[in-house]
Amino acid sequence: MHSIPLEYYLALSAVLFTIGSVGVLTRRNAIIIFMSIELMLNAVNLTLVAFSAYLGDIGGQIFVFFVMTVAAAEASVGLAIVLALFRNKETVYVDEVNVMKW
């Protein structure tokens, strides 16, 4: 087995999660924000798989399985919302959508 410490994987997934969150904060395009959310979900998945492998506990990998399912559900519903949004407002830029802004 290889000699990469667990912390390297955790630091990598921290960096990936941050990239995802910066993407959500900076971008205007709803589809790219959506992809940044996928980036964050995957960063957390990497943490779970790393812990699962190093602790020899299978629960983490089962959890990743469920996270993938939730991500698939989120993808279909989120993209349907983007479609409905574009149909009604002719835009996918989140700063041009303010119907529900108080």
Partner 1 sequence: MEISAIFFYVLAAGAVATGLLTITRRNPVSSAMFLILHFVCLTGLYLTLQAQLLAVLQVLVYAGAIMVLVLFVIMLLNLGDEEKLTESVNQRSLVAAAIGAVFALQLILAFTFDPSPRYSALPDNAASVGTVEAIGNEMFTTFLFPFEAVSLLLLAAVIGSIILAKRKLRS
Residues 4-43 that bind partner 1 (CB under 8 A): 4-12, 14-23, 25-29, 31-32, 34-36, 38-39, 42
Distances in Å between the alpha carbon of 2 and those of 5, 6, 34, 57, 77? 9, 11, 35, 18, 40
Residue type, 79: L
Distance in angstroms (rounded) separating the CA atoms of residues 29 and 59? 36
In this complex, which beta carbon is closest to partner 1, that of residue 79 or of residue 101? Answer: 79
Confirm if 50 and 9 have CB atoms less than 8 A apart: yes
Confirm if 10 and 50 have CB atoms less than 8 A apart: yes
Residues that bind partner 1 (rule: CB under 8 A) add up to a total of 73
Q: Please, what is the minimum distance in Å from the beta carbon of residue 102 to partner 1?
A: 17
In this complex, which beta carbon is closest to partner 1, that of residue 85 or of residue 102? Answer: 85
Binding mask 43-82 for partner 1 (x = CB under 8 A): --xx--xx-xxxxxxxx-xx-xxx-xxxxxxxxxx-xxxx
Q: Please, what is the minimum distance in Å from the beta carbon of residue 84 to partner 1?
A: 5
